[in-house]
């Protein structure tokens, strides 16, 4: 098959591993910078122009779209879909996954466990917002934050009020969530491909930090999921209509709580923690699902 990895940086670990895994299984793999693609639209003839030529005869694409370029990246994915090219991440699912509020609404509708969450339109009733998530400490997140950026733990009511009021003053949209104390600064990243969990790791925040992201200095180790946790991760990916997803969840006294479902999960941390060929699992998923003429 002819595969295209949509990635702005060919040197990224995830991009290199997907190329390596695809070639290992006998496929032709090309890296395309989605920001340098021109989308040409006309009646029943959608095309993508890249570096002096039209991209043709592609069997599948693997989108690796950064959060900062979601709009244009999604447009490129959509164009390939119009060209009847299989995508490991559908354009509409990509858009939904980047909207934290919409994602939580979708997961709530699916009956999945979530931390108590409040979103308002710059409400002046800050005390009620904090009460609604169980008081302080609480977590305050920018809607557009990624990799732990734009996430604040307010340890006291006064601090929470100050942070929310500051964000309101800047017209920055935030969600406020309850703090799950029993998680002890750790979360679980689960990689779901198709309807199967292909890897899971527990990420522990460094001392003095509550964000467990590896980019923030957290550490990772392999973990064996309970049946309930595995089922929750698969259901979350399915609810978001993502065939490749990184599901972040917390272990709580009331069961697994879904934090986020990532449509472009990094492969480096989880492959190194688990020793599993996650990139290969993604290529095998394409083989099972892409229609080849």
pLDDT at res. 207? 65
φ/ψ of 141, rounded to 5, equals -125, 135
For domain 117-179, the question of CATH label 3.40.50.1820 is answered with no
pLDDT, residue 280, reads: 97
Q: Alpha helix (H) ranges present in the chain? A: 13-24, 70-82, 91-98, 100-109, 126-132, 157-169, 227-239, 268-274, 278-289
Cβ-in-10-Å burial (0-12, 13-18, 19+) of 132 comes to: middle
Q: In CATH, which superfamily holds the domain spanning 97-112+182-263?
A: ATP-grasp fold, B domain (3.30.470.20)
Q: What is the pLDDT of residue 40?
A: 95
SS3 258: strand
Round to whole Å and give the CA distance between 101 and 242.
17
pTM: 0.88
Q: Which long-range contacts (CB under 8 A, 24 or more apart) does 79-85 make?
A: 79/37, 79/39, 79/41, 79/46, 79/47, 79/48, 80/4, 80/48, 82/46, 83/46, 83/47, 83/48, 83/58, 85/58, 85/59, 85/60, 85/61
Domains 2-89 and 117-179 share a fold: no
- Domain ranges for the chain: 2-89, 97-112+182-263, 117-179
96 Cβ contact list (under 8 Å, min separation 6): 102, 103, 106, 240, 241
In the numeric block, the tokens 């030529």 are attached to 53
Phi, psi of 257 (to 5 degrees): -120, 125
pLDDT in tens, the chain (293 residues): 999 999 999 999 999 999 999 999 999 999 999 999 999 998 889 999 999 999 999 999 999 999 889 999 999 999 999 999 999 999 999 999 988 889 999 999 999 999 999 998 877 889 999 999 999 999 998 876 555 567 889 999 999 999 999 988 888 888 999 999 988 888 999 999 999 999 999 988 766 555 555 555 567 889 999 999 999 999 999 999 999 999 999 999 999 999 999 999 999 999 999 999 999 999 999 999 997 65
Tell me the three state secondary structure of residue 250: strand
Q: What dotted CATH number matches 2-89?
A: 3.40.50.20
Q: Is the dihedral of CA 252, 253, 256, 259 positive or negative?
A: negative
Structure tokens at 6: 């949509």
């Amino acid at each position: 098959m002819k595969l295209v990895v949509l990635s702005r940086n060919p040197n990224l670990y995830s991009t290199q591993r997907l190329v390596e895994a695809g070639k290992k299984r006998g496929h032709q793999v090309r890296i395309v910078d989605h920001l340098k693609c021109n989308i040409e639209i006309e009646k029943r003839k959608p095309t993508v122009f890249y570096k002096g030529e039209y991209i043709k005869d592609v069997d599948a694409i693997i989108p690796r779209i950064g959060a900062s370029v979601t709009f244009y990246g999604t447009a490129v994915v959509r164009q390939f879909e119009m060209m009847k090219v299989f995508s490991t991440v559908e354009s509409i699912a990509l858009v939904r996954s980047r909207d934290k509020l919409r994602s939580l609404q979708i997961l709530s509708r699916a009956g999945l466990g979530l931390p108590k969450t409040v979103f308002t339109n710059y409400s002046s009733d800050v005390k009620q917002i904090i009460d609604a998530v169980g008081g302080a400490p609480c977590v305050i997140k920018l809607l557009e934050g990624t990799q732990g950026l734009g996430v604040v733990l307010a340890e006291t009511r006064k601090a929470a009020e100050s942070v929310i009021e500051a964000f309101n003053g800047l017209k920055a949209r935030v969600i406020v969530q309850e703090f799950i104390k029993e998680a002890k600064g750790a979360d679980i990243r689960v990689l779901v491909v198709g309807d199967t969990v292909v890897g899971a790791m527990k990420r522990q925040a460094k001392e003095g930090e509550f964000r467990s992201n590896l980019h923030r200095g957290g550490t990772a180790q392999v973990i064996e999921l309970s049946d309930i946790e595995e089922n929750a991760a698969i259901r979350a990916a399915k609810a978001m209509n993502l065939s490749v997803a990184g599901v972040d969840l917390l272990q709580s006294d009331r069961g697994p709580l879904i934090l986020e479902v990532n449509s472009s999960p990094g492969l480096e941390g989880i492959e190194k923690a688990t020793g599993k060929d996650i990139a290969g699992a993604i290529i095998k998923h394409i083989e099972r699902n892409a229609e080849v003429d």
